Amino acid sequence: MRLTMFLGLSLLGVTLSGCGRETAPSTEAAAPAATEAKANSGASLDAVLAGDHRTEEERARDQFRNPKETLEFFGVEPDMTVVEIWPGGGWYTQVIAPYLKQGGGKYYAAGFSPEGASDRVREALSTFERNFVEKPDIYGDVEMSVLGEGHDIAPEGTADMVLTFRNVHNWQGRGTAETFFAEFYDALKPGGVLGVVEHRADGNDDLPTDGSSGYVYEADVIALAEAAGFDFVARSDINANPADAKDHPFGVWTLPPVRRSSEVRGMSDPDFDRERYDAIGESDRMTLKFMKPAADGALLE
């Protein structure tokens, strides 16, 4: 079932025939059913994206964030247990949680701990709880968890998928990236998937490697994941933007949706050439898929 069933199909056929039992169905026979299931899944995701719970402003970002194509690339299915890391205001929560609700899946929002948090963080957590946890009719069973030492983003070995959208640069700057990738690994089942979307530094060799520009080199993300034990599966240009030269005066935050025009947040330079950066759109982004190896090549259900 799900992500890693393919790991033992050929072995399964040999084992069954060797025991004198009926062999496994051919891939030709199984293909129509798999195609139909994928089509139904896509139709269900379309319904979520068109739902009234999303505002027109939120839908306007679909052209840059490509949620359907991105989630399909990672392989999200409605019956999965999915952990989203640092969901922020919940833009992707509005898509993933209702989708999982349809199939009886489970959604974890792994964010900050309220213990010792600033007023701003506590208010953000309260807002997220009001908007999502307290609306099970729309979002299902949303559970808030904590990313950080002494906490589990989900019970160990229970998640089918861990997803993070535009967060790695923050962890590079704080020196926590290695620790967090290890936590992702622990939360996943064998054969589980880690999906990463991040502002991509590649194409501009002058950018820092500490995340201070908001851009991250793809090779650095792959190295982080592999050091934690993941296998690199695939990359996609779903969220690529060739118009983004990454040479902006205020880093990635010069571009929409932040649209910064000064070093200090909240200030604005009236002479700043805003049209030039708005024309670029949102950032060029990598979309990377990793997998936690299956234990001893065993069949997974």
In a domain, residue 200? The reply is yes
Q: Rg of the chain's alpha carbons, rounded to an integer?
A: 21
Per-residue pLDDT tens digits for 34-63: 455 555 666 799 999 999 999 999 999 999
* Residue 33, domain extent: 2-246+283-297
Please answer whether residues 141 and 163 qualify as being in contact, where contact means their C-beta atoms are separated by less than 8 angstroms.
Answer: no
Residue 159 within any structural domain of the chain: yes
Residue 253 counted as domain residue: no
Say what the pTM is. Answer: 0.84
Residue 259 belongs to some domain of the structure: no
- Does the residue 252 lie in any domain? no
The enclosing domain of 175 has a CATH number of 3.40.50.150
User: pLDDT tens across 220-275, in order?
Assistant: 999 999 999 999 999 999 999 999 999 999 999 999 999 998 877 777 787 889 99
Q: Which of 143, 218, 156, 239 is nearest to 192 (CA)?
A: 156
Domain count across the chain: 1
**Residue 16 lies inside a defined structural domain of this protein:** yes
Is 278 among the domain residues? no
